[in-house]
Structure 1
Amino acid sequence: MHPAPLPVAEACLSLPDFLARLADLIEAQDAQGALALLTGEPELARQHPVAANSLGYLLLQAERPGEAEPWFRAALALKPDYAAAFAGLGMAMIGTGATTAALPMFEKAVTLNPEDASSWYHRGALLADRGQAALAEMSLEQALRLNPDYHLALLKKGHLYEAAGRFNEAVQLSARALQLAPDDAACWTLFGDIMQKLGRLDQAIEAYDQGLSLSAGDFYCLCNKAQALEKQGHGPQALALARQALAKRPDNIDALLLTGNLERDHGDRQAARACFLKAASQGPARHYRAISGEASVKALMLFAPFAGNTPYEDLVEGANFDADLLIALPEARYDTAGIGEDADVVVNLVSDLDLSSDVLASVEVLAESFGRPIINHPARIFGTDRASIARRLQDVSHAVMPMTRRIEAAELKEAAESLALPVILRHAGTHGGDRMELLDTADAVKAFAEEAADASLYLTDYVDYASADGFFRKYRWVFVGEEILPYHLAIGDGWKVHHAATRMKDEAWMRDEELDFLNNPGRYFSADAMAALDEIRRRIGLDYFGIDCGLDRQGRVVVFEVNASMLVHERNFGFEYKNPHVRRIKQAFEGLLRRKAGMED
């Protein structure tokens, strides 16, 4: 008896038959069949660029980027100008985390095939992730020119505009993306992010919830909803979501920092420290890239999560320098040679002595270990607490520096009857008027001390700085190197003035006066007052810091606060006239980086 004949094996296929069968399967949209054919005939697949390229894309669809990469390389070995293979190789590299190597692949793809919207999109997305916003926008616009309904390109461009504060345009892009892909959680995330930036937290949370209803456990919806909830004061709910996000991606820097911040703010310093240490072990936690793509200078910024730091986000956003942010912890170990090898200058962000005295020495050691010039050297932060500042500036000509001393709450209760009233009391380490009161009776002082329990406090003499019209004016200047630049004027009805809490949004004359101050500060600060500011700059000795001050009726500078912890930002809704002056400060900061690094300004 003769055995039945064997079926014709796929191995017996000729290359033309193999390619014809592959074409039939692809035309029938039978991805599984095509994948089985190609993986069953690897030698035939290696003989033709279309077959190798097709196998690469099928492996990408199967979420096997590591296996896909060599097939794209095989296709390119057979056909070196194969645009689709360059694009596929780039996508495979993204899938394996090799994003830096992926960008040149898409550069090559769009050069060979400038009509490929997908390659323009991926190029733009990678440029955006590198912080090269202007180049990214151009690439995404090209993708949308070729395919106006490309919702992923709309999303990425929307995120660029949201990050740049172009909210009206971002909303339009978000709405279009939602119209095209209402079932994509990422579209809802973008809309939520825009609403959160605009302060519309209820709408933001609704958007994140919609995203989570489409994709339960979506990482970005969880993280960003947690941030919105925290801003609303729902700390426990925010922490629960952050922990959930971190469980999904235990090594993700964003999740580690978010959860670490929330754990710290809600009392679990041990859990917070574990998050921050894990983030620090990965090297710089943030990479900010020059908006033009060609950095004028590169800074390494040191940030201590359990200390008070200079607000840095708005200084680096949209800037023309590169910056890496390193989490500074005393117990962390760093590859300082590797981390700082391409840095031109180190920026110490640790700025509030009341909150940072226990880490400043270790930050100083870390900063000096990179062997680069240092802006705001940690050694100069010592002596910038409120009491020390008051002593250092006591005799500045044409300035009034109210005497300030640090006092424990228990000591204050004993001294209450002997104080010259009124006085200002505040908790050490607080800013923005939090836990600060003007008290004019001994009983009120005792009550404040009683409530403060064992806290450290600052006791400051009160100086009446009301203007002749009865309003109180607080001016903020920013010192950048030798420059003294106006930042804002807040006009209030009472002695405790904070820009966001004034009636300035409703009073045109107040806004007009602020704008006039910003444009013509010499009309408000005399030559003597400006000389006083310059003397303060010289005595403090920091490279970058700010002052909040008033003017008494003799035109003297009344000093409220001097430190490097002051906020400078462009989120000035209703006060957009401030933004050119903010940008001037940011440009001056870039110039400071260059000068400190020994470059030409």
Structure 2
Amino acid sequence: MLPLTEEEEVQFRAALDFLQSGLWPLAHQALRTLETQHPHPLVLANLALAEERLGQENEARQHHEAAIQLAPNSPDLRFNWANFLARPGTRESLLLARVQYLAVLALDSHHLGAWVNLGTGLVETDHLEAAKTAFTAALAIDPLHSGALLNLAQVALNQQENEKAAQLFEQVLSENPQSLEAHRGLATSASRLGQENKAATHRQLGYAQKPEIFLQGRGNTLPTVLILASAADGNIPWQPLLDRQRHHTRILALEFFPENESLPPHDLLFNAVGDADRCPEALTRVLPRWQLRAPQIPARNDPQRVRATARTSLGHLCAGIPHLSSARTECFQRPAHASPQETAGLLEHWLAARSYAFPLLLRAPGFHGGQYFERVQCADDLPALLERLPGTTLLALECLPSRGQDGLYRKFRVMTLGGNLYPIHLALSSHWKVHYFSAEMSTRPDFREEEQAFLADYRTFLDSTAVGALETLQARLGLDYAGMDFTLDPEGKVLLFEANATMVLHPPPEDPVWDYRRPAFEDALKAARALMIPPTLSHGCHSP
């Protein structure tokens, strides 16, 4: 390929100036003229970029492909091509782009943009471990790259690695104290670590100036989903449910959105405040919005029904459902300024007055994943446990007879999505506190075989009596998005651990050993995403 002549070089630089200044029509005209004189790969590649900006997708594709054909070993031109492929944001397009980002890195292993964009695509396709590797590689090239740091922090947060996430968000803020995303992420990680004063400070910094986030869909005439959320972390995990091909998304942090201000225009209203114990203020704020919503706008997850899923309300929710029971749960308020020893004495008396017997369970409300959740064998254990549990309120729970006759503990998860039940997982463990990430599933093929049988046909596995109890509970919950964690007692009755809207649809790990879990997960994810698709409205967006 002959190089550009001196005159062509001048024309090319002028075209680049237009491109960098956002003067897309002028850049396009100059590059089209230059293309007829000399179809150099750099000319073709930049012409494709101008066509992308002008919405000329077919022409851009043709010119990217032509540039690659002329210079197949150019990492930068292949990087442009990968970015073009990734633009639609669908799973298929991101997989195609991934191949090209890897091709870029095969040509230049220090291509920073390829590592960062590869990691971003991996996050969007739920490959979080691989995304961590990509962002870590980017930081090895540029340790202060704010995008890689922020993305790595978000991945750590998604994986409940809260201490690591907090460190990374603080590193971002040391370089960019104005980063709203870092303040918001640090607020969440600090809250999960029981550091409520720190969390409150960063919530204020992250949301007070801008309580609304807008995520542009990939189209101009798309409907808009409005998500009402809490800044305090107790939300339905809505991020995996979005489909940017089909809608725009607005998210409001309710604690910071003015109460007297009208909601932005929208075509579907989604209440994401899911934790009744953690987010009472946000639920209080969402209720009047919900009651005054426009009747023609579809709405998901009634906040009044979310309120009914507080842990102390679970017994009432289950009352009268045959073959289903839950642990009696009551709130204990810690006295101000009392020592752990003094509080332990008061708590022991409080428990005895309510006929609680040891062993029992104590937990701090509003935390999940087994965090701040302890088994108390006897009264002597109380002072040490109270030092480990944060907050002014504690929940006392009776121990359910949850151990199987084979000595194992089991935890089933079934989601209720759009009025249907979807099995998600069965975790088996030798420890009473069963969570999938800490159970022995990876080391026990027999455990995985049992889970596979549950996922393949949960109705037969549980039997009609248990399924009937779950279906009755589902109807009583009345939520579009929720989950139920439970086990079975020796008689096959359902012992309910929790039922609420905060449960996460975690994708199976990438290892083929977990492939048996994918069909059930994908069915549930498809149903959950369908909740976020507004109906086609011929008369445009609405607001209440």
TM-score above 0.5, yes or no: yes
Shift in Å, 1:489 = 0.6
- State the alpha-carbon separation in 2 of the partners of residues 361 and 596 from structure 1: 28
Match of 1:6 in 2: none
- Counterpart of 2:422 in structure 1: which amino acid? L
- Alignment check: 8 A CA contact 1:301 1:347 kept: yes
Q: Are 2:214 and 1:285 equivalent residues in the alignment?
A: yes
Q: Secondary structure at the match of 2:208?
A: helix
- Alignment check: 8 A CA contact 2:410 2:428 kept: yes
Q: Are 2:294 and 1:376 equivalent residues in the alignment?
A: no
Q: Deviations over 1:294-313 (max 9, x none)?
A: 98x75322222214001122
In the TM superposition, what are the counterparts of 1:221-236 in structure 2 within 5 Å? Answer: 221-227=148-154, 231=161, 233-234=163-164
Classify 1:450/1:184 alpha carbon distance in 2 versus 1 (closer, same or farther; 3 Å): closer
Match of 2:452 in 1: 515
Q: Are 2:520 and 1:581 equivalent residues in the alignment?
A: yes
- State the alpha-carbon separation in 1 of the partners of residues 181 and 400 from structure 2: 45
- Alignment check: 8 A CA contact 1:245 1:255 kept: no
- State the alpha-carbon separation in 2 of the partners of residues 577 and 146 from structure 1: 44
Name structure 2 gaps, 5 residues minimum.
335-342, 539-544
Classify 1:192/1:533 alpha carbon distance in 2 versus 1 (closer, same or farther; 3 Å): closer
Shift in Å, 1:209 = 2.7
- Alignment check: 8 A CA contact 1:417 1:442 kept: no
Match of 1:561 in 2: 498
Match of 1:209 in 2: 139
In the TM superposition, what are the counterparts of 1:139-154 in structure 2 within 5 Å? Answer: 148-149=72-73, 150-153=77-80
Match of 1:11 in 2: none
Q: Secondary structure at the match of 1:528?
A: helix
- State the alpha-carbon separation in 1 of the partners of residues 170 and 496 from structure 2: 43
- TM value normalised by structure 2: 0.77
- State the alpha-carbon separation in 2 of the partners of residues 194 and 78 from structure 1: 35
Q: Are 2:381 and 1:444 equivalent residues in the alignment?
A: yes
Match of 1:240 in 2: 170
Match of 1:19 in 2: none
Q: Are 2:23 and 1:28 equivalent residues in the alignment?
A: no
Match of 1:219 in 2: 146
- Counterpart of 1:233 in structure 2: which amino acid? E
Classify 1:284/1:191 alpha carbon distance in 2 versus 1 (closer, same or farther; 3 Å): closer
Q: Secondary structure at the match of 1:314?
A: helix
- Counterpart of 1:311 in structure 2: which amino acid? P
Match of 2:464 in 1: 527
Classify 1:575/1:445 alpha carbon distance in 2 versus 1 (closer, same or farther; 3 Å): same
Q: Are 2:145 and 1:187 equivalent residues in the alignment?
A: no
- State the alpha-carbon separation in 2 of the partners of residues 289 and 585 from structure 1: 24
Classify 1:451/1:589 alpha carbon distance in 2 versus 1 (closer, same or farther; 3 Å): closer
In the TM superposition, what are the counterparts of 1:281-360 in structure 2 within 5 Å? Answer: 283-287=212-216, 299-316=225-242, 321-322=246-247, 324-333=249-258, 339-341=264-266, 343=267, 345-360=268-283
Match of 1:272 in 2: 203
Classify 1:390/1:562 alpha carbon distance in 2 versus 1 (closer, same or farther; 3 Å): same
Classify 1:595/1:530 alpha carbon distance in 2 versus 1 (closer, same or farther; 3 Å): farther
Q: Deviations over 1:113-136 (max 9, x none)?
A: x7411xx6xxxxxxxxxxxxxxxx
- Alignment check: 8 A CA contact 2:270 2:301 kept: yes
- State the alpha-carbon separation in 1 of the partners of residues 57 and 92 from structure 2: 28
Q: Are 2:8 and 1:71 equivalent residues in the alignment?
A: no
- Alignment check: 8 A CA contact 1:421 1:439 kept: yes
Classify 1:554/1:157 alpha carbon distance in 2 versus 1 (closer, same or farther; 3 Å): farther
- State the alpha-carbon separation in 2 of the partners of residues 334 and 116 from structure 1: 51
Q: Which moved more, 1:417-426 or 1:196-205?
A: 196-205
Shift in Å, 1:369 = 5.8
- Counterpart of 2:465 in structure 1: which amino acid? D
Shift in Å, 1:362 = 1.6
Q: Secondary structure at the match of 1:308?
A: coil
- Counterpart of 1:241 in structure 2: which amino acid? Q
Shift in Å, 1:442 = 1.7
Classify 1:306/1:417 alpha carbon distance in 2 versus 1 (closer, same or farther; 3 Å): same
- Alignment check: 8 A CA contact 2:409 2:431 kept: yes
- Alignment check: 8 A CA contact 1:226 1:242 kept: no
Match of 1:414 in 2: 349
Shift in Å, 1:430 = 1.3
Q: Which moved more, 1:572-581 or 1:588-597?
A: 588-597
- State the alpha-carbon separation in 2 of the partners of residues 431 and 268 from structure 1: 17
Q: Which moved more, 1:561-570 or 1:221-230?
A: 221-230
- Alignment check: 8 A CA contact 2:139 2:145 kept: no
- Alignment check: 8 A CA contact 2:402 2:495 kept: yes
- Counterpart of 2:151 in structure 1: which amino acid? N
Shift in Å, 1:338 = 8.4
In the TM superposition, what are the counterparts of 1:447-458 in structure 2 within 5 Å? Answer: 447-449=384-386, 451-452=388-389, 455-458=392-395
- State the alpha-carbon separation in 1 of the partners of residues 390 and 27 from structure 2: 68
Match of 1:22 in 2: none
Q: Secondary structure at the match of 1:582?
A: helix
- State the alpha-carbon separation in 2 of the partners of residues 115 and 430 from structure 1: 52
Shift in Å, 1:458 = 1.2
- Which of these two proteins has the greater Rg computed from alpha carbons? 1
Q: Deviations over 1:450-485 (max 9, x none)?
A: 554753111111111222322221111111232111
Name structure 1 gaps, 5 residues minimum.
1-24, 36-53, 95-101, 121-141
Q: Are 2:435 and 1:498 equivalent residues in the alignment?
A: yes
- Counterpart of 1:27 in structure 2: which amino acid? T
- Alignment check: 8 A CA contact 2:25 2:54 kept: no
Q: Secondary structure at the match of 1:299?
A: strand
Shift in Å, 1:92 = 6.1
Shift in Å, 1:380 = 1.9
Classify 1:585/1:195 alpha carbon distance in 2 versus 1 (closer, same or farther; 3 Å): closer
- State the alpha-carbon separation in 1 of the partners of residues 237 and 156 from structure 2: 22
- State the alpha-carbon separation in 2 of the partners of residues 55 and 205 from structure 1: 33
Shift in Å, 1:162 = 11
- State the alpha-carbon separation in 2 of the partners of residues 166 and 72 from structure 1: 27
* Structure 1 counterpart of 2:15, from 12, 37, 57: 57
- Counterpart of 1:584 in structure 2: which amino acid? D
Q: Deviations over 1:499-520 (max 9, x none)?
A: 1111111111111111111111
- State the alpha-carbon separation in 2 of the partners of residues 264 and 240 from structure 1: 14
- TM value normalised by structure 1: 0.71
- State the alpha-carbon separation in 1 of the partners of residues 502 and 450 from structure 2: 26
Classify 1:254/1:240 alpha carbon distance in 2 versus 1 (closer, same or farther; 3 Å): closer
- State the alpha-carbon separation in 2 of the partners of residues 450 and 223 from structure 1: 33
- Alignment check: 8 A CA contact 2:376 2:382 kept: yes
- State the alpha-carbon separation in 2 of the partners of residues 397 and 369 from structure 1: 37
Match of 2:287 in 1: 364
- Larger RCO of the pair (alpha carbons < 8 Å, separation 6+): 2
Classify 1:464/1:361 alpha carbon distance in 2 versus 1 (closer, same or farther; 3 Å): same
Q: Could you say which structure has the higher helix fraction?
A: 1
* Structure 2 counterpart of 1:116, from 52, 63, 69: 63
- Counterpart of 1:276 in structure 2: which amino acid? Y
Shift in Å, 1:383 = 2.0
